[in-house]
Amino acid sequence: MEPVLPSGAARCDARWSTRAHQYLPHTGTSRTVPVTFHYRRTDPLAVEAVFRCPSHDDDVVWTLGRDLLSCGISNLAGTGDVVLWPGRGRSRVWLRLGPDTGHALLSISRPELAAWLRTTYALVPPGTEEEHLDWTPIHRLLSSPRPPHRT
C-alpha cells in the first residue's frame, strides 16, 4: 500500500497503513495485523505505530524512532524492547516488540517501509529535526526564576 499524504501546505505529516504478519511461535503460524504508521513534523524523531489486534479490543500503540526504522531496513538495529532487522531475501523487515520473555514478532514489507520513510525524510530531512521541535517549554523552564537556595 502506498503512503497517504495530505496535499498542499498542510503537508506536515505522513501516514502509512499496511498489514504486518505476526509470527505465532506456539503454533508455527502467522496472522495478519493491520498497522498504521504516523509521522508528524512536530515530533520529527518519532513514528507512532498503531496495531489493530484482533484479539484485543484496544489498539496497541508503540512509539518508534524514525532513524531506528531506517537503520532496521538494512541492518540489525535497536536493543531492549524494540529490535529490527532485514529478513532473508530482504523483501521483509522483522520487528520484535516487547521484552525477551513476552514479545511480539512481526514482519512488514521492506520496500513499502523504505518508500514511506523516504517520504518522512522529504518532510524533515536528516539533521534538521531540531529545527522542527518546539523548544518553548524547555526555554520557559530554563528561564524561570529559581527559588533561593536554603542551607
Does residue 80 lie in a domain region? yes
What is residue 7's predicted lDDT score, i.e. its pLDDT? Answer: 43
pLDDT above 80: residue 6:
no
Give the predicted TM-score (pTM) of the model. 0.79
Number of domains into which the chain is organized? 1
Instruction: Give mean pLDDT, residues 7-22.
Output: 80
pLDDT above 70: residue 51:
yes
Q: Which of 1-5, 21-25, 66-70, 84-88 has the lowest mean pLDDT?
A: 1-5
Domain around 24: 8-141
Q: Express as a percent the part of the chain with pLDDT over 70.
A: 89
| Band (151; pLDDT cuts 50, 70, 90) | low
Does residue 32 lie in a domain region? yes
Does residue 87 lie in a domain region? yes
Does residue 81 lie in a domain region? yes
Answer whether 47's CB lies under 8 Å from 65's CB.
Answer: yes
Does residue 151 lie in a domain region? no
pLDDT, tens digit, 9 for 90 and up, residues 96-136: 999 878 889 999 999 999 999 999 999 999 877 777 767 67
- CATH number of the domain encompassing residue 69: 2.30.31.20
Does residue 147 lie in a domain region? no
pLDDT above 60: residue 8:
no
Q: What is the mean pLDDT of the chain?
A: 86
Does residue 101 lie in a domain region? yes
